[in-house]
Amino acid sequence: MTVTTRTSAGTGAAAAGDDAPAPRPRRTASLLTPVLVMALLGLCLLSAGLGAYDIPVGDVLSSAQHRLGLGGQGLDRVGESVLWNVRLPRVVLALLVGASLGCAGALMQGVFGNPLAEPGVIGISAGAAAGAVGAIALGLSFLGNWTVTFCAFTSGLGTVLLVYAISRSGGRTEVVTLILTGIAVNAFAGALIGLFVFFADNAQITQITFWQLGSLAQATWPKVLAVLPCALAGLVLAPMYARKLDLLALGERPARHLGVDVERLRVVLVLVVALLTAAAVAVAGVITFVGLLVPHLLRMANGPGHRFLVPGSALGGALVLVAGDLAARTVAEPAELPLGVLTALFGSPFFFWLLRRTRRRQGGWA
C-alpha cells in the first residue's frame, strides 16, 4: 500500500512538471546538519561545565586549549580532575552511545520497512541485559571490572545471531519470523533476568537495578575506549548502505530488480545494528526510545531519504542523550535520575502519538 502511494505520487509530480519538491529535502538537510552539529557542540560544552561543581564554559574551553598546547590556562587541581576525569568521559560516552542508538534505530526501520522498529525488536537489548545481569548475579569476575561489559556485549551479539539463524528459511530471512522470534527472545531474556534477580543478594540486586535503569554515572575513559571501536565501525559502515536502503523502501521485488542483494543487505545491517546496540547497552545499560524517536523526528523534518537520515540520526541520538544525561544529573540534584527512565518518560508519549498518527493516516494496520 505504501509503495503504491509513493510511486504514484512521484509519477504524478513528474507528469505535472513540478520540480519544486525534489530539491527541498537537500536544502533542508543542508540546514539541519550544521544546526545539529552546532547544537551538539554547545550542549557538550554546557554539560561539561554544569553539575555539583560548576565550571564556566569559558574555563572549559581554556582548559581544553591548555591541554592541546594552544594557549589557554589550566584550572585548579579540583577543577581539572572534575572536568577531565568525571565530566568529559561522561559527555564523550553519551555522544557515542546516543549516536550508536540513533543510527541503529534508523537502520532497523529501513531494514524492516517499519517506522515502529527499533533495536530492541529483535532482542539485542534484552540479550545484552540478560548477559550483564547474569554476570552480576553469578559473581563472575574473570575479566575484572570488564566482566559485566564483556558478558553484555557477547550475549547481545549471540542473541541476534541466534534470532537470525532461527528466522532463516530456504536461504532467505523471513522478516515476520525475525520479528516474532525477537519477541519470543525478549520474553525469554526477561524471564532469565527475573530468575537471576530472584537468586541475587541485596548488594547484587542494587547493582542490577541500577544497570537495568540505564546510566552514564560510571563513565570512565577506559569505558569510552571500550565502546569506541564498535561505535566508530558501525557509524562508518552504516551510511555506505543509504542508497540500498532507499531502494529497499520501494519493496523487496523492485529492489532485487534494481540490483540489490536484499538478503545480504539485511544480514550486514542487522549485524551492524547488533554491534552498535550491544556496545551501547554494555557500557550504559538499557536506554530505550532513542532509536525510535530520533529517526522519526528527522524523517518528519527532511523526508525518508537515508542519505541524510542515517548520519543525521547519529547526530540527533547523540544530541538527545547528552541532553538527557545533563537533565538526569541536574534536575533532582544532588540525586541523579536514571537516564533510561528519563528517556522512557519522554519517549513513551511520543510512541503513543505515533501509533495514533500512523493508524489515522493508513486507516488501520492492514
143-167 pLDDT tens trace: 887 788 888 888 988 888 888 788 7
* 198 Rama class: left (phi>0) / alpha (psi -120 to 50) / beta: alpha
- Rounded to 5 degrees, φ, ψ at 78 are -65, -45
**Are the CB atoms for 118 and 101 separated by under 8 Å?**
no
Which of 4-13, 193-202, 220-229, 276-285 is the least confident region? 4-13
Peptide bond into 338 cis (omega under 30): no
**Cell numbers of 224, please?**
569510552
Distances (CA, A) of 40 to 29, 99, 210, 211: 16, 11, 27, 26
If pLDDT is split at 50, 70 and 90, which confidence band does 314 have?
very high
Is 48 exposed, middle or buried, given 0-12, 13-18 or 19+ CB atoms closer than 10 A? buried
Q: CATH fold of 89-360, please?
A: ABC transporter involved in vitamin B12 uptake, BtuC (1.10.3470)
**pLDDT for residue 89:** 95
Domain ranges of the chain: 89-360
Read off the pLDDT of residues 288-305 as tens digits, 9 standing for 90 and up.
Answer: 889 888 998 898 888 889
Chain segment 48-65, per-residue pLDDT in tens: 998 888 899 899 999 988
Write the single-letter amino acid at 95. L
pLDDT at 110 over 70: yes
Parallel, antiparallel or unpaired: strands 172-173 and 168-169? antiparallel
Say which range, 168-177, 188-197, 348-357, has the weakest mean pLDDT: 168-177
75 confidence band (pLDDT: 50, 70, 90): confident
Q: How many helices (H) and strands (E) does the chain have?
A: 16, 2
